Structure 1
Amino acid sequence: MAGLEPGSTIQIHSYKHNGQLHRVWQNSLILKGNSNVVIVANDKTLVSESDGRTWITREPAICYFHSKYWFNIIGMIRNDGIYYYCNIGSPFVFEQDAIKYIDYDLDVKVYPDMTFTLLDEDEYEVHRKQMNYPEVLDRILKNNVDYLIQWVRQRKGPFAPDFVDQWYERYLTYR
């Protein structure tokens, strides 16, 4: 797909349901890109928050985006294993050299032993009411939490053994 060539860099933009820009990651390296799946890597990447704060990621990460599923998955490579941070959000779009999605607050943190925790349910409820999420959207998001958890339990996609390691090895070939 044009603009998603392996070896090129892009930004990642997350928005809120009301269209407000939420967070921007600079300089993620494309490892795979087509109309359905984008896999990028980054390490010590500058992140800008909507309130003006900035921070730098602490470890290498492999990020998985899909055009069909309402979640994206970040595999963070740490000394004691791979931790996953999964954002429940809209399927990605690619425009203006950026991967873009709407972040719907619900997150799933997955530990190296594949246990997991659902995070930010309170924040989701506040935003669901404030921004008037339609009932159909609420069902889609909750169904995708269940679907994501099935992926974790089945070791599917980015949770498969060696998925993150193999993509990280590819990332190292570009450095």
Structure 2
Amino acid sequence: MAGLLPGSNIRIQSYKHNGQLHRVWGSSLVLKSNSNMMIIGNDKTIVTESDGRTWTTREPAICYFHTRYWFNVIGMLRNDGIYYYCNISSPYVYDEEALKYIDYDLDVKVFPDMTYTLLDEDEYELHKQQMNYPKVIDRILYSNLEYLIRWIRQSKGPFAPEFVDQWYEMYLTFR
């Protein structure tokens, strides 16, 4: 992935299964990039919703994206610990414009004590009907949800102790 050296700026764009743009995160910093994954940091980043509304993230975040896994993970550094927001999504692609993925609605919120909650199952079921998700996509998403939950329980990957803190220290060197 030429041009994605640590410290490079990048935009993040999420889409829905029907191809509609869902959400855009403004400038974020690439912390690590290789052919399989990307780690990105941001803080007080402007986010634009599909209807044009904007909001700004409240805290620093370290984002983990992969080309093989159907999820991405956002570790948010708050005063009382690290919270994770995990999107069940397509693997990402990068096309010189932005890092892009399809958001499939299912989310997992992980608390600092590593307990977690599955969110938005109703939204997923609604969009599965409206956008006619193929059965194979449904199976892939739930299989990857199980894989993600194993990572959470095993403190693996972006859930490993010190992962977010170490990458946040790197992020601070580029600011």
* Alignment TM-score, normalising by the size of structure 1: 0.99
Runs of 4+ in 1 over 3 A off after TM superposition: none
- Match of 1:68, SS? coil
- Measure the CA separation in 2 of the matches of 1:146 and 1:50: 29
- Measure the CA separation in 2 of the matches of 1:108 and 1:56: 21
Comparing 92-101 with 16-25, greater Cα deviation is found at 92-101
Deviation string 1:119-155 (CA, Å, 9 cap, x unpaired) is 0000000000000000010000011111000000000
**Cα deviation, residue 96, structure 1:** 2.5
Q: For residue 82 of structure 1, what is the aligned residue in structure 2?
A: 82
Uncovered stretches (5+) of structure 2, i.e. residues with no partner: none
Q: Does 2:16 match 1:16?
A: yes
Q: For residue 141 of structure 1, what is the aligned residue in structure 2?
A: 141
- Match of 1:151, SS? helix
Q: For residue 97 of structure 2, what is the aligned residue in structure 1?
A: 97
Uncovered stretches (5+) of structure 1, i.e. residues with no partner: none
Q: How does 1:133-172 map to 2 (within 5 A)?
A: 133-172=133-172
Q: How does 1:123-134 map to 2 (within 5 A)?
A: 123-134=123-134
**Cα deviation, residue 163, structure 1:** 0.2
- Match of 1:152, SS? helix
Deviation string 1:49-78 (CA, Å, 9 cap, x unpaired) is 001110000000000000000000000000
* Alignment TM-score, normalising by the size of structure 2: 0.99
Count of residue correspondences: 175
Which amino acid is 1:14 matched to? S
Instruction: Compute the RMSD of aligned alpha carbons.
Output: 0.6
Which amino acid is 1:29 matched to? L
